[in-house]
């Protein structure tokens, strides 16, 4: 009986030590943009493998990433847009000092089903689709099919970028627009819907959808970098105050050769 108690106490002590070590082990928590998600997850896998520091990545959207940083629930907020003035005010009220780090550049691609014969649109035509002025693809040189326009949800930084870069502040998106929750969900919907149109980050474009020229320009490394592609934007990470230690190493990955390769491999564009 005494031996059994000794073994039991030893096992309990081992478990307590194990959990204490696990709790004390360094960990980076990241939340935010689904657009930045592929880069963030690839960075996390590489960083954990090379340093042993666990990196937890959630993709709840840029708006939720900002809230998470403001509420001190994450170490890094991944954002496909800059923080809004209202978010900066909210951060200040909670003693949070957001510091911005550039991750990569992105072209916001207008995508349709590969079978759609339309290959290009102007920004004015895209605005016309999303305000409801154009309702059938035959009005734009396409098939006789009602246009199915798809947008992102309200907490999406990609939705904010689209409204700013394409719609303008005075143009409201039609209530007939369908809403999807992520770049991946939009790509799947467009790939399975011949009359659909929507927008996704450049890193999500593959052969299941067709990216359109916008104002005569295709989104690619050169046109995004030199600004000739008209729907380009930067992607960011934010920390509470200047990053230090492991967090600083992580947000500086885009400047390293390995980080640059990861960004290119995920389909986005280096800016360093």
Report pTM: 0.86
Q: What percent of the chain has pLDDT over 70?
A: 91
**pLDDT value, residue 17:** 46
Dist. CA 137–CA 209, nearest whole Å:
17
Q: Which domains does the chain have, with CATH numbers?
A: 2-104+235-265 (3.40.190.10), 106-225 (3.40.190.10)
Contact call for residues 42 and 266 (beta carbons, < 8 A) = yes
Contact call for residues 201 and 158 (beta carbons, < 8 A) = yes
Of 227, 217, 214, 218, nearest in space to 122 by CA = 214
- Tell me: pLDDT of 254 over 60: yes
CA angle 89, 253, 233 (to 5 degrees): 55
**pLDDT value, residue 4:** 53
User: Which tens digit of pLDDT belongs to each residue from 169-217?
Assistant: 778 999 999 999 999 999 999 999 999 999 999 999 999 999 999 999 9
- Tell me: pLDDT of 260 over 70: yes
Dist. CA 157–CA 136, nearest whole Å:
28
């Amino acid at each position: 009986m005494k031996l059994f108690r000794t073994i039991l106490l030893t096992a309990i002590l081992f478990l307590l030590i194990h959990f204490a070590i696990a709790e004390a082990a360094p960990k980076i928590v990241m939340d935010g943009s689904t657009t930045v998600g592929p880069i963030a997850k690839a960075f996390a896998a590489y960083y954990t493998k090379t340093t042993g520091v666990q990196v937890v990545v959630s993709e709840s959207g840029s708006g939720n990433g900002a809230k998470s940083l403001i509420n001190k629930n994450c170490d890094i907020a991944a954002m496909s847009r800059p923080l809004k003035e209202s978010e900066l005010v909210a951060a200040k009220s909670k003693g949070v000092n957001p510091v911005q780090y550039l991750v990569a550049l992105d072209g916001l691609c207008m995508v349709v089903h590969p079978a759609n014969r339309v290959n290009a649109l102007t920004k004015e035509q895209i605005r016309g689709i999303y305000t409801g002025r154009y309702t059938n693809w035959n009005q734009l040189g396409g098939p006789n099919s009602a246009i199915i326009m798809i947008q992102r949800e309200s907490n999406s930084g990609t939705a904010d970028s689209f409204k700013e870069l394409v719609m303008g502040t005075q143009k409201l998106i039609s209530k007939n627009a369908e809403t999807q929750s992520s770049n991946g969900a939009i790509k799947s919907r467009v790939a399975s819907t011949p009359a659909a149109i929507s927008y996704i980050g450049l890193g999500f474009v593959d052969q299941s959808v067709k990216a359109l020229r916008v104002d005569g320009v295709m989104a690619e490394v050169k046109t995004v970098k030199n600004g000739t592609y008209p729907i380009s934007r930067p992607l960011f990470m934010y920390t509470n105050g200047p990053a230090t230690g492991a967090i600083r190493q992580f947000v500086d990955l885009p400047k390293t050769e390995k980080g640059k390769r990861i960004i290119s491999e995920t389909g986005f564009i280096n800016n360093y």
